[in-house]
Structure 1
Amino acid sequence: MKILPYKNLFVGITDTLNNIFFEGKYADKEVERTLKSNKLWGARDRGFIAQTVYDLVRWKRLVEGAMSRPLSKETIWEFVGTWFALDPEQKLPAWEEFQKVYPKEILKRHHESSKNIAVAESYPDWMFELGQAALGDRWLEEVHAMNSQAPTVLRVNTLKTDRKTLQKALKDRGVKTNLLSKYQDAIELEEKMNIFRTDEFQNGWFEVQDAGSQLIAPYLRVGPGMRVVDACAGAGGKSLHLASLMENKGQIIAMDLYEWKLKELKRRAKRNNVQNIQTKVIEAKTIKRMENTADRLLIDAPCSGLGVLRRNPDAKWKLQPQFIDEIVVLQEKILSEYSKVIKVGGLMVYATCSILPQENEQQIEKFLANNPNYKLLSEKTHYPSETNYDGFYMALIERTA
């Protein structure tokens, strides 16, 4: 992206990066906050800020390898300048903040540091080694795929409209989209833009949901009139999808530990005209009371998120090795406890947005070994390198006795 030589844009970029790297803030929330802070910025300005921030978060380690000093609050301008200096066709503005950015030295340091493949691909050593140990040669393919920009995909709310009607309505607003043939409710934007202000979004015609994520709800084989439990619902993207597949008939019990997430789900459900979702905060005896009551169960389990690093590149720098060990233990506990919710003959889907076998196939192997009254019907890992979308795992399991 060509540099826009306006200092207030760079102030926005450096402030945002400071909050992400040194204050522990999430990249998507900080970019949103920054873009809302100046109403005079036009679409090109906003696009420049957003893309530059995400590029620098994604390629943080590669840029650090080319710097003359470690990244800190004091060197954040050098960090930004180094990123642009890595492209010989870019010319930095002659501002005081960039006076110590020397392109020739930067390119020399970059050449040397990039001999380490973890630096060249911009991953922490521990994460790169973990992925390589788990996936072998495939890991490098996934690393390449997850270092590209994530597309924006919409899920059509079939309770209110259909894909072609939505596509035409967006086209009339100058928003170009493509139908995705392998994803029954998905439309992909040709260019990134803010579509949350459109009447179509405000009227609940669509939600933003990655194409990979859109495969999980249909995998559960729900139908109108069923009693379905979404055990880790969060803000409810998959609950809403289940509701549309069930034609607003039956009951969905959307559960989460955090009430604020369920309040967001209620707000989204109202906009989507979804009327068959009941929210429930998970408490000590919640699962015990619900045993043998559900036709279907979705466990969209907490996970490392190592399948969605393209969408959440700051997770590369926030995750710690011990978290992986802890989350595997938690997943095993959730599977063991929540699986009792479904009736005999009922189905459940265990899903994660990770591509690590220890969170996926190996979890299911352990569960089935300890629970012979459950049977694996099918399982699938969707890899970013194969689909160009987020990475997900899902297993369909039947309770047989």
Structure 2
Amino acid sequence: EKAKQKSAYLFKDENGNELPGLNGEQYMDYMEKKLRAACRSAENIAPPADLLQTIKYVIDPGPEDKDEKGKPFTTLLFSQTTSAQQLIISLKILSNYDYLENLYFSQFQFTQAALEEVFSFVKKSQVKSLSFIAPNFSTQQIKQLFQFVGGTKLQKICIRECPIQADALLAAGLQIEKNFLQIQADCEETIRLAIQKHNLDLEEARNRPKDKKKSKPGKKSKKLEIWQLQPEDLIAERFTLNEIKLEYCFIDEQSASPLGIFFSKVASIIQKVSLKGNQFGCKGLEQIGVGLQKAFQKIEFIKYEEDPLLKETYSGSRILQLEELNLENCKVDFDAEAFQQFGLGISKCGNLKTINLDQNLFKQMKTLLFWFEKQWSLVNVKVSNLLDETEVQQLVEAMKTHDKKQIQVDKQIKKLAKLAKKKKKEVVEETKPEDAQQEGQGK
């Protein structure tokens, strides 16, 4: 009877062939058998408990989670109980499993071969979030991690409780920028070639012999052709990374300068950055501000057309993508110059909505408050609990004003976005090759 039940999911075997008719429980049973067989053939090692437990949960989640029965798992954690060899076998078994979105490693002891298998797996999978908690990464392996992100579907990378040296931090920023620029260049070339082909098709259609029988116009397609797109439309599909967490990674004052370079590279690319628990103090905060200013200097002359109404909701540039910045528990004390540079930096980030400075050491923030008030896009700021009550109240009032300002123009922004979207979809039909031929026939 179970076999007759139609599955809402589509599963594949290890070669990518579809397995029609299998529901979630049956597929997990199939996967478990494949896993055990692969482990037996590999020097008869034990199957990894982490993956087995996940499989068994889908088959029998228990009475409390009975609604989860048969649903493909989307999250998988490998702990220190799984060996590098077991991991390699597991990822090969999962190579055509399309439902995994979140992959975690906790205190995992990586070999180079195991790490490379992770890279290979993620490139071909649907994984959106990749997290490492207390891994045994070398500096070189951290660099490799950021080299492979381009061309994956990853949206988030998290490294926690792993020492990150200055050169690894610097390499991470440089590599993210390099990946992005390469994808940007590829997208521009793709569109250029598509426009070139489209123009040739138009010319060919105009020069075709006239057909006496008038053809009926085809249906208008809602989907835009590649030659009608802007590079950013394609980039959004090909470079998906938007969040980086480097938390409790022992990034200290010695890494302040590389930290600034890191932000100068990623602020125009990444939306969310968390450095929670790193002890870089005022020097680090100052260099983050300097890095944000440098990121702005790279793009300040780029023409960015928008309705003047939108400009009332931020300062700086919205080309800088940074939206959330978490600097909680980073040993930041009061320093006038550091606060000034950091404030200047955030004033340039036109998309910045949230800053977390909780559990730091500063007891006053008048300098920062000035810049927080200046950056209209900010609507959520969390600060040290050591602050004077009067300054906290000033900050609360400033953020309320910002929030009201955002609400006032929100309807107008949505209206403008809707009109822009409509305008983008209104394709002039004469530009289509088949219509160019009809144009020639009507003459």
Higher helix content, 1 or 2: 2
- Taking structure 1 as the reference length, the TM-score comes to 0.26
- Taking structure 2 as the reference length, the TM-score comes to 0.25
Which protein shows a greater Rg? 2
Comparing both chains, which one has the higher relative contact order based on Cα–Cα distances under 8 Å and sequence gaps of 6 or more?
A: 1
